[in-house]
């Protein structure tokens, strides 16, 4: 989306090769292919890059805010920033997560579910942690984005310069599929990841990989 592209519209339609978005999608994939073609990235795994960064031998790594904890623990010299902008805007992506209770859950199991959610989210009167720092607070300390106002507005968290930057990521969040989109998991693992793998390991051209992804998404969605 940083280059003006799009993946799934608000009404759940595949727009990977839609005339309004195809140029932006191709620009993004062309930038990615140039990076692949002129770097040694195929030689290394994510774990390799993280190890090099922690050893201060890698200049920049794109990862999640949680990696800041590893940097602090290992004494790495690091800073944090949002991703560089494309020619349209700064854009960050995220994978939404939620705690769900199945509709057929009953009795003690249902009570246990609600008890867990109370334990996880109570940032004020948590009887388990005893210090007002609930599991969701600890979750945010690691580097994940807050979803409770009591956490997002916490003075101690906001005094942390790393959190001050990572908490702005949501300002640039571009959802690449609408809320409730039922094909979100296959979209990620069966369409987008394989599309990038084709460019990375099979030397596929951006248009070829994009068209494959669009056709695959239509097949998954039964279009």
Residues 75 and 181 in one domain: yes
For residue range 157-197, list pLDDT tens digits in order.
Answer: 888 888 888 777 777 877 788 878 888 889 989 999 999 99
pLDDT of residue 54: 92
Task: Specify if 137 maps to a domain.
Answer: yes
Task: Specify if 49 maps to a domain.
Answer: yes
Task: Specify if 147 maps to a domain.
Answer: yes
Task: Specify if 132 maps to a domain.
Answer: yes
Task: Specify if 57 maps to a domain.
Answer: yes
Question: Over the range 131-170, which residues count as b (16 or more CB within 10 Å of their CB) and which as e?
Answer: eebbbbbebbbebbbbebeebeebeebeeeebbeebbebe
Left (φ > 0), alpha (ψ -120 to 50) or beta: where does 180 sit? left
Residues 81 and 32 in one domain: yes
What's the token pair of residue 143? Answer: 């580097």
C-alpha separations of 135 from 128, 145, 157 in Å: 10, 13, 14
CATH number of the domain encompassing residue 61: 3.40.190.10
Task: Specify if 194 maps to a domain.
Answer: yes
Residues 26 and 132 in one domain: no
Residues 27 and 80 in one domain: yes
Can you give the pTM of this predicted structure? 0.72
From first to last of its 223 residues, the chain has per-residue pLDDT tens of 788 889 999 898 999 999 999 999 999 999 989 888 877 666 778 888 899 999 988 888 888 778 888 898 898 888 888 777 777 777 777 666 677 888 899 999 999 998 888 888 876 665 555 566 778 888 888 877 777 888 888 888 888 888 888 777 777 877 788 878 888 889 989 999 999 999 988 888 999 999 999 999 999 987 6
Q: Which residues contact 72 (CB under 8 A, 6 or more apart)?
A: 162
Cβ atoms of 124 and 36 within 8 Å: the answer is no
Q: For the chain, how many structural domains are there in total?
A: 2
């Amino acid at each position: 989306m940083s280059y003006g592209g799009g993946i799934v519209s608000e009404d759940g339609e595949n727009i990977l090769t839609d005339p309004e978005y195809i140029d932006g999608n191709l620009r993004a994939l062309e930038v990615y292919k140039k990076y692949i073609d002129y770097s040694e990235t195929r030689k290394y795994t994510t774990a390799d890059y993280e190890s090099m960064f922690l050893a201060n031998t890698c200049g920049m790594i794109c990862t999640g805010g949680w990696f800041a904890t590893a940097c602090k623990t290992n004494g790495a010299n690091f800073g944090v920033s949002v991703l560089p902008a494309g020619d349209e805007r700064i854009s960050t992506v995220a994978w939404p997560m939620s705690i769900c209770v199945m509709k057929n859950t009953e009795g003690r199991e249902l009570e246990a579910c609600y008890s867990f959610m109370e334990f996880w989210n109570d940032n004020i009167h948590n009887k388990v942690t005893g210090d007002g720092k609930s599991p969701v607070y600890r979750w945010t300390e690691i580097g994940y984005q807050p979803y409770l106002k009591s956490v997002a507005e916490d003075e101690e968290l906001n005094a942390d310069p790393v959190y001050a930057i990572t908490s702005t990521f949501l300002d640039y969040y571009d959802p690449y599929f609408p809320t409730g989109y039922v094909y979100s998991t296959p979209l990620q693992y069966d369409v987008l990841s394989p599309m990038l793998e084709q460019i990375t390991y099979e030397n596929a051209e951006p248009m070829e990989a994009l068209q494959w992804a669009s056709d695959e998404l239509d097949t998954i969605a039964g279009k």
